Structure 1
């Protein structure tokens, strides 16, 4: 017999080559446990080994218990785990958890978008403030240059050495203007 699980249904087939199942078991609300066998009880009626057998049973007493056998220890454990997990209610719980995680991730994305917008706004505000400060500094520097020209003119007039002092300060001012630009 070959078995296959799809969601909360177990399909069983007479052989691997059959395309149509021999039967279907609803796994909702079932229990699946390993059958423990000792000594002479380890053989079934047809003589096959019960070493890797497990049973599917239900809460109601009048519902049949199904005994199945795996090929090896690992397959037995995997089948038991798969049958235990094949519950529609468990799928609903998993879906609810995933939806909660999804909502949480959406909230994180939204808060990141808000933070990005606020950061961009702050950068724009800072850039605007820097432009204002540059304009103010340039204005102050230009006013200082005009004042210095007046002072130089006055000094040149009083000292009578027009070329020497003016040349020195003009070179100094030229160097400062190049640094600002």
Structure 2
């Protein structure tokens, strides 16, 4: 029988700082908020199968952590622009991370460059 792994706040902070320094992929992504209405720019850092996000590049503590084990990461089509949309959607590239955990909704992310989007999708796919 396999025992569960325990991480405390200190472990997570250490791993987050390691991800910021030596992670396989780091940079700003826009993340859709939990009520699916707004996008917020966050600093992301990928380390092994963990993806941390921070309020900004200089934050020392992560705002959150996604465990990527068993996830599926795919490019997503751009949403249909509404007449009141203020953002220039044609210069945004979208992807989603769908988790295998029950009741965890997909993570919606976007970049401003197609190359960044493709590199994030490849890195997350490899990390899973």
Task: Give the TM-score category using the shorter length.
Answer: 0.5 to 0.7
Deviation at residue 48 of structure 1 after TM alignment: 6.3
Question: In structure 2, how many angstroms separate the alpha carbons of the residues matched to 1:36 and 1:83?
Answer: 18
Q: 2: distance between equivalents of 1:71 and 1:2?
A: 14
User: In the aligned structure 2, how far is the partner of 1:3 from the partner of 1:71?
Assistant: 15
Which residue number corresponds to residue 89 of structure 2?
Answer: 49
Cα distance in 2, alignment partners of residues 68 and 38 from structure 1: 12
**RMSD value, Cα:** 2.5
TM-score by length of 2: 0.58
Whichever of the two has the greater Rg, that structure is: 1
Aligned length: 85
2:113 counterpart of 1:72: yes
Stretches of 4+ aligned residues off by more than 3 angstroms: 46-50
Where structure 2 has 5 or more consecutive residues not aligned to the other structure, the ranges are 1-41
User: TM-score, normalization: structure 1?
Assistant: 0.42
The separation in 2 between residues aligned to 1:60 and 1:16, in whole angstroms, is 29
Equivalent residue, structure 1, for 2:73 = 32
Gap runs ≥5 in structure 1: 88-181
| 1:137-148 equivalences in 2 (<5 Å) | none
Using the alignment, how far apart are the partners of 1:12 and 1:81 within structure 2? Answer: 18
Q: Which has the higher contact order (CA 8 A, sep 6+)?
A: 2
